[in-house]
Amino acid sequence: MSAGWIAGDVRARGLAATEAIDVASSVAKTPGLEPAVAVLGQTRWIRDTGSATSVEAAQRAVFETLIWQLRVLAGWLPSEGVEVVRSCVAWFEIRNIEDRLAYFAGASAATPYELGRLGLISKSLGGTSNAEDIRRLMGASAWGDPGGDDAYAIRMWLRHRWHRRARDASPELRIWADAAAWLFALRERLAGRARADLMASKPPSLPSSWRWVTAATWLPGDMWRAEERWWAQVRQEGLQLLHEPVGGRGPALGAVTTLAASARRIATALEIAAGVGGGQLDAAG
């Protein structure tokens, strides 16, 4: 039993302790964005309600809170635990990179998520002028060279590397990452896009509780249901890990997944409250 894991596990349980309260359901039932944000303002999920003047701004505030919680948690964990958290936070670095690529294509500049030591190249993105610069940054980091500088090549490579990093970080993440990679590859194939094999060229070997991922015959209109089911099952398994004995990676990983699922669920609830999008909270787990 590691002292580092014990301290991290205790902190993890403290961070996730309030997740039994279904904040998202309360937000979804609130008529209008402003009162929904006010509801969140009574929780820890939005610290500055005055800046959450749109659905996108409110969702960003929720995700920024998630990142801050995960950064705090990582500060209490041993190096192995930090890598587990970093592999999960990598989604936000992918978002930072893709936002920068969109800026090169004419979109408005987006403020990058602050990842601290959990990021790899996010701090350097502001100094890039084109996709070639981003490719060079990636090639000199753990992301590796994407083999091209067009946005799609970079996007797919990022997801490929994220999959590999996650499955190397822990056995639980390996299962979740393999299931997610197969569903993502299938979506690419159904859409007629290239490079699906970069994510998964053949069905992964999954435990019985996850075999629905490869057993079902998915149609394009079904993929959102598959994603929602993936999140619901990850959240359920994360809650189980959260209650494992302290001294191992279970509670910390459980906190990461529980918090991430809650943030995503709240983001959907904000859309429902504001009357935009087609989110369905019940399906989000």
Report d(CA 207, CA 154) in Å as an integer. Answer: 31
The answer to whether 178 and 167 have CB atoms below 8 angstroms apart is yes
Instruction: Compute, in degrees rounded to 10, the torsion defined by CA atoms 117, 121, 126, 132.
Output: 180
Q: State residue 241's pLDDT score.
A: 95
DSSP class of residue 164?
Answer: H
The 10 Å Cβ neighbour count of residue 277 is 12
Longest Cα–Cα distance of the chain, Å, equals 52
Confidence of residue 47 (pLDDT cuts 50, 70, 90): confident
Give me Rg for the CA atoms of the chain: 19
pLDDT per position as a tens digit, 141-178: 999 999 999 999 999 999 999 999 999 999 999 999 99
Give every CB contact of residue 191 below 8 A, 6+ residues apart in sequence: 220
pLDDT above 50 (res 285): no
Q: What is the pLDDT of residues 56-67, one digit of tens each?
A: 999 999 999 999
